[in-house]
Amino acid sequence: MALLQQKTLLLGLSFFCMTFMVSSHSRQYTPPSVPRLTDLFSHVSVDQGFSKAYGLQNIKVFNNGSMATLTLDNSSGSGLESKNKYHYGFFSAAIKLPAGLSSGVVVAFYLSNWDMFPHNHDEIDIELLGHDKRNDWVVQTNIYANGSVTTGREEKFYFWFDPTQQYHDYSILWNSHHIVFFVDNIPVREFPSTGAFSSVYPSKPMSVHVTIWDGSKWATHGGKYPVNYNNGPFVASFANMEITGCASNPAAPADSPCPSEASGSSADPVQGQDFAKLSSQQTTAMDWARRKLMFYSYCKDISRYKNLPPECK
């Protein structure tokens, strides 16, 4: 009987450890060292760079505009939108996510032009998806080009830290060479503009958006765990906003190039050769992130794609 109890205890401890591992992705790994791209660009105040887009009562700006909080409650989500549209650039925000049970909550930092091109819009997304009782927050990256929502190119990653305890940097580099997604300056994904990717590469000027909203229908396990407003309100904090790029001229055609492409000027600071490809250090770090932390890629989803997109082959 004692032996049976001992085996039962060991099985229970084993199950607990497995559960702890599943719910503790953010504490398993030490990331490689990389150059800090976020140190290369100046911060912009919230009031200077953004307008309040919706949920005005749920947006608070403080510390002379250097920080903001966005809230999701049972009345509304909330969001900011950049005052300018950009054709290429480096875009970044330090974000602290809501603590506690937050299934169905989506905090997003992304570029989009759906307002100007409702039927053929482009989008470059960092979406932070709330957790249920067993899983941490996850980061989803996605890319749309020319409007088809059926061709979203999602990849999902676990964190190597707890994103609710302090601010962490989430960044997007977009130029004519590639799109790169960064978490704390670690590249987690690169989407080149050449080869099989060229037909699905975002090309039109976009606004920068910062939002928190209810993604109950899809965000956590395909909508299995909706937002429970008894756990709210859900507050996301933002700081160290960076918007550095080629601001679009409203009078120019939508697909007109940045001056740096046409004349080699410095109007677009991320179009030069320093940003044309990842360094060996960054490539090593990205390989680490994708091996250790990526748990979903559209290129492996054969149930969704009978014929995988060309770039997956």
Measure the N-to-C terminal CA separation of the chain; round to a whole number of Å: 57
Q: Which residue has the tokens 């602290």?
A: 96
Distance CA 212, CA 227 (A): 12
* 123 has catalytic annotation: yes
State whether residue 36 is helix, strand or coil.
coil
190 is catalytic: no
Per-residue 3-state assignment (H helix, E strand, C coil) for 199-253: HHCCCCCEEEEEEEEECCCCCCHHHCCCCCHHHCCEEEEEEEEEEEEEECCCCCC
Catalytic residue among 81, 123, 155, 190: 123
**Measured between alpha carbons, how far is 307 from 236 in angstroms, rounded to an integer?**
38
From the candidates 81, 127, 155, 190, give the one annotated as an active-site residue: 127
- The CA distance from 298 to 313, in Å, is 12
Q: What is the DSSP annotation of 73-117?
A: -SS--EEEEEEEEEEEEEEEEEEEPPPS--TTEEEEEEEE-TTT-
* Catalytic site positions: 123, 127
